[in-house]
Amino acid sequence: MAAGKVYLVGAGPGDPELLTLKAARIIAAADVVVYDRLVPAEIMDLVSGVAARINVGKQSGNHPVPQDEINVLLVKLARSGRTIVRLKGGDPFIFGRGCEEAFELDRAGIPYEVVPGITAAQGCAASARVPLTHRGLATGVRYVTGHCKSNEALDLDWASLADPDTTLVVYMGLANVDEIASGLIGHGLPGYTPVLAVCQGTTPRERRVYASLATLSSTIREAELDGPVVFIIGKVAAIAVERNESDDATIAETMAVVA
């Protein structure tokens, strides 16, 4: 039997209307959908009623189906001759481990295609109407992960990340927010640097929290955010505050310094 095909599909940041047309078409035509926990129910509703659904959802500290097993599963399913969709939140190649799955499919000789999705940084920033780059505020943007495997200490180049002219977007950093703030401040990024935290961005459950880098840890603890969080760190975060989306006195002081 000829092998089927695997599609590594990005489901976008949460809002089902931000799914690409190509992704929606492929999801609807799939024989099997292997999906993560961050894929919203509204997108799973696009899956055919006769398609098999396999939940391999992972979260920090809880990986019921290890990545190696997911890789093997995709190969096994494809060898049955069916069309397989590996559905991931955001973009499959930005902190989505899609490349690991692609390598395994390559080694097994399984045809596959990558269908990109809007990554959380872009989706959350757009929802908050914050540019990731902006003339006079940020000449570039960097994406980093705030979580390491097995809950190890973060192994980041803090000196290069502490650049006041670059927007830093941190994925999956909620558990390590103390280390992130102290690492950046310790390597020269001013404590008054604005930070926007977006939880469950682009969905009806979206929450936004504003802080300075120095007050980030305490502010986040008080907010008790529940769900995936993206941190946007840098001068551009002050733009959201300038639109009167926060009454926080600390942020008002931050705006004065940034301006």
Residue 170, pLDDT score: 98
Helix axes 67-78, 98-108, angle to 10 degrees: 40
Q: Note if 149 is an active site residue.
A: no
Residue 253, pLDDT score: 43
Exactly one of 31, 58, 248, 255 is catalytic; name it: 58
Per the structure block, which two tokens stand in for 251? 């942020």
Can you give the length of the chain in residues?
Answer: 259
Residue 115, pLDDT score: 98
Residue that is written with structure tokens 């650049």 in the block: 163
Exactly one of 15, 88, 91, 172 is catalytic; name it: 172
Residue 147, pLDDT score: 82
Exactly one of 15, 36, 91, 163 is catalytic; name it: 36
pTM of structure = 0.89
What gap in Å lies between CA 204 and CA 143, rounded to an integer?
Answer: 25
Sign of CA dihedral 239, 245, 250, 253: positive
Burial (CB < 10 A; 0-12, 13-18, 19+), residue 252, is exposed
Residue 18, pLDDT score: 97
Residue 255, pLDDT score: 39
- Over its length of 259 residues, how does the chain's per-residue pLDDT go in tens digits? 677 999 999 999 999 999 999 999 999 999 999 999 889 999 999 999 999 999 998 655 555 789 999 999 999 999 999 999 999 999 999 999 999 999 999 999 999 999 999 999 999 999 999 999 999 999 999 999 998 765 667 889 999 999 999 999 999 999 999 999 999 999 999 999 999 999 999 999 999 999 999 999 999 999 999 889 999 999 999 998 776 454 444 444 443 444 4
Which domains does the chain possess? 5-115 (3.40.1010.10), 120-258 (3.30.950.10)
Three-class SS state of 29: helix
Q: Note if 172 is an active site residue.
A: yes
Residue that is written with structure tokens 């599909």 in the block: 9
Residue that is written with structure tokens 């926060």 in the block: 246
Residue 243, pLDDT score: 65
